[in-house]
Amino acid sequence: MTTSANHVNARKTHCKNGHEFTPENTYVSHTRGPPMRQCRQCRKDRWAANYKRVVRLAPLDAGALRRLRRAAADGVSHDDLSERFGVTTKTIRDAIRASGP
């Protein structure tokens, strides 16, 4: 057994989510206190998660989203959809683009 847990921690090569700390994937945060290594992939993932949440919280519930996508698939224009669902065409585009598998 080793007692050098701190030592190991300072030299860890992966973030807590298992992304490797390569030079490309690492940025150093200088906000307050000692510089801290941060994982770019985690930051990207966080943004993506936030973005999805925002889209989901848009003024369209799941049912409206389904109807919207079906209408879009039927060839209804974004302008018409915008009017029909009372949201901007940007929201329409985002909602359609956010439709994952």
Are 37 and 28 in contact by the 8 Å Cβ rule? The answer is yes
Q: Which is nearer to Zn ion, 41 or 99 (CB)?
A: 41
Tell whether residue 40 is a contact of Zn ion (CB under 5 A): no
Q: How many CB atoms lie within 10 A of CB 32?
A: 6
Interaction between residue 96 and Zn ion (CB under 5 A): no
Reported for 70-75, long-range contacts at CB under 8 A and 24+ positions apart, including other chains, are: 72/96
Q: Could you tell me which stretch among 5-13, 18-26, 73-81, 83-91 binds Zn ion (CB under 5 A)?
A: 18-26
What does each C-alpha distance from 96 to 17, 68, 81, 86 come to in angstroms?
Answer: 30, 8, 11, 15
- For residue 41, state whether it binds Zn ion (rule: CB under 5 A): yes
Least distance (Å) between residue 23 CB and Zn ion: 14
Report the nearest approach of Zn ion to the CB of residue 36 (Å).
13
* Identity of the residue numbered 95: A
Which is closer to Zn ion, CB of 28 or CB of 57? 28
Task: Answer yes or no whether residue 17 interacts with Zn ion by CB under 5 A.
Answer: yes
